[in-house]
């Protein structure tokens, strides 16, 4: 009897707080969105479960030095191993052909990053400190691993909220972008047909990751962990002589590492950390970041059109928001609504993948100036 009481006393039930129960609700909402609505399930499902786990008292899962989830967090995320490995997989999946065929579209990938900087200033004006503001701003880059990478270095207490915001809004891109795209473009702009890009030789696709790595890492050394792995993965893919490595990077490695990305990120969201007024602002600012980025990409395309005879369909600017390939699909769909024979998908992939590089460079710049 004594033993039973002793056992009962070790249970975490008595240590539950209303805050923890609120986090359970949030965890279950994310799990619901992942399973029932297919919202970025690869990340939101483990994140949701991680949130639930960390809000079960006494489990010790996040005890520094000992907890299982703490170990995933410390060795995987704090040591900056997991996000770069995700980028290895992403690089192996990325085809830079559409970008190399239409090189001027790289500016649209850069233009969309202006939304990141805009949000940074707004966040700072709203009371976030510089490092926090940068982390909130990078949400607009629509890049999960980069957001996690930057948050870990600049504002770890905001890691969970920024990651959840980033992935949620990525899932909502088909809802967020079209209204802005239609607001900022005229019908006659939306039906612009793109001219065929140049032919890309296989040698170019091999040289590109090598040159990109050299240039970007020399210019922005802080971005090296992510850029290096991204370009290595891309080189694997384009070299075509290491198919086993490419395949592992795209599949086994990427899938395994994804498990260990989401779970510890969710496990940082305990009740004290998350239930703060700041977090509401993060969700609001994250949404604005996506909206600004969509807008700046489109506006840059329109600006470029003032100076060139060969017009760019400005909708392509929205694909600079590097939710790959969602934003590209959205651009294609909105264009097809105006002219069903306009096939923008592959053109949109150009700025889409350029945007990934753009976001990493933006993160590298923040790290250099604020880290």
Partner 1 sequence: MAEEILAPLAGKVVAVNIAVGDAVEEDEEAMVIEAMKMETPVFIPCNGTIKEIRVKEGAEVEEDDVLAVIE
Tokens standing for residue 26:
């949030």
Cα separation, 30 vs 45, in Å, equals: 7
Best CA proximity match to 367, nearest among 202, 201, 221: 221
216 within 8 A of 361, measured Cβ to Cβ = yes
Residue 369 region, left (φ>0) first, then alpha (ψ -120 to 50), else beta?
alpha
Helix or strand holding residue 80 (H, E): none
Cα separation, 317 vs 333, in Å, equals: 14
Answer yes or no whether residue 199 interacts with partner 1 by CB under 8 A: no
At closest approach, how far in Å is the CB of 333 from partner 1?
8
CA dihedral 78, 354, 330, 281 (to 10 degrees): 40
Answer yes or no whether residue 190 interacts with partner 1 by CB under 8 A: no
Q: Which is nearer to partner 1, 201 or 214 (CB)?
A: 201
Cβ–Cβ contacts within 10 Å for residue 99, how many? 24
Cα separation, 210 vs 226, in Å, equals: 14
Answer yes or no whether residue 335 interacts with partner 1 by CB under 8 A: no
At closest approach, how far in Å is the CB of 172 from partner 1?
17
Answer yes or no whether residue 349 interacts with partner 1 by CB under 8 A: yes
Q: Which is nearer to partner 1, 153 or 332 (CB)?
A: 332
The span of 13-21, 228-236, 260-268, 336-344 binding partner 1 (CB under 8 A) equals 336-344
In 189-316, DSSP assigns E strands to: none
At closest approach, how far in Å is the CB of 154 from partner 1?
33
Tokens standing for residue 309:
């005879």
Which residues, numbered 313-332, are part of the site for partner 1 (CB under 8 A)? 325, 328-329, 332
Q: Which is nearer to partner 1, 80 or 339 (CB)?
A: 339
Cis peptide before 101, with omega less than 30 degrees from 0?
no
Terminal Cα-to-Cα distance of the chain (whole angstroms): 57
At closest approach, how far in Å is the CB of 184 from partner 1?
23
Q: Which is nearer to partner 1, 151 or 344 (CB)?
A: 344
Binds partner 1 (CB under 8 A): choice among 2, 9, 244, 341: 341
Answer yes or no whether residue 309 interacts with partner 1 by CB under 8 A: no
Answer yes or no whether residue 351 interacts with partner 1 by CB under 8 A: no
Q: For the chain, how many residues are written?
A: 371
166 within 8 A of 323, measured Cβ to Cβ = no
Which residues, numbered 264-283, are part of the site for partner 1 (CB under 8 A)? none
Answer yes or no whether residue 205 interacts with partner 1 by CB under 8 A: no
Q: Which is nearer to partner 1, 326 or 361 (CB)?
A: 326
At closest approach, how far in Å is the CB of 138 from partner 1?
25
Answer yes or no whether residue 159 interacts with partner 1 by CB under 8 A: no
Residues in contact with partner 1 by CB under 8 A are: 325, 328-329, 332-333, 336, 340-341, 343, 345-346, 349
């Amino acid at each position: 009897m004594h033993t039973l009481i002793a056992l009962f006393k070790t249970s975490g039930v008595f240590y539950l707080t209303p805050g923890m129960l609120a986090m359970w609700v949030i965890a279950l909402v994310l799990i619901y969105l992942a399973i029932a609505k297919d919202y970025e399930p690869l990340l939101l499902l483990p994140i949701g479960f991680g949130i639930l786990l960390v809000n079960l008292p006494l489990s010790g899962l996040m005890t520094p030095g000992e907890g299982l989830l703490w170990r995933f967090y410390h060795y995987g995320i704090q040591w900056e191993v997991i996000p770069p490995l995700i980028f290895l997989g992403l690089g192996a999946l990325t085809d830079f052909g559409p970008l190399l065929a239409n090189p001027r579209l790289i500016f649209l990938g850069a233009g969309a990053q202006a939304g990141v900087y805009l949000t940074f200033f707004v966040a700072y004006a709203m009371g976030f400190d510089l490092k926090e503001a940068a982390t909130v701003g990078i949400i607009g880059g629509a890049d999960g691993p980069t957001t996690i990478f930057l948050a870990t270095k600049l504002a770890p207490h905001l890691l969970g909220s920024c990651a959840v915001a980033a992935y949620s809004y990525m899932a909502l891109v088909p809802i967020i972008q079209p209204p802005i795209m239609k607001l900022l473009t005229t019908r006659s702009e939306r039906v612009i047909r793109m001219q065929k890009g140049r032919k890309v030789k296989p040698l170019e696709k091999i040289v590109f990751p090598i040159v990109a790595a050299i240039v970007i890492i020399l210019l922005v050394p802080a971005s090296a962990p992510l850029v290096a792995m991204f370009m290595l993965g891309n080189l694997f893919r384009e070299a075509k002589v290491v198919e086993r490595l490419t395949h592992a990077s795209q599949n086994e490695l990427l899938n395994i590492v994804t498990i260990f990305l989401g779970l510890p990120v969710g496990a940082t969201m305990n009740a004290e950390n998350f239930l703060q007024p700041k977090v509401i602002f993060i969700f609001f600012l994250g949404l604005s970041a996506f909206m600004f980025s969509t807008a700046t990409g489109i506006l840059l395309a329109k600006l470029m059109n003032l100076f060139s005879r060969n017009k760019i369909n400005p909708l392509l600017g929205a694909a600079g928001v590097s939710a790959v390939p969602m934003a590209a699909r959205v651009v294609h769909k909105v264009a097809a609504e105006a002219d069903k024979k306009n096939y923008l998908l592959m053109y949109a992939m150009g700025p889409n993948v350029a945007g990934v590089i753009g976001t990493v460079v933006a993160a590298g710049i923040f790290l250099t100036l604020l880290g």
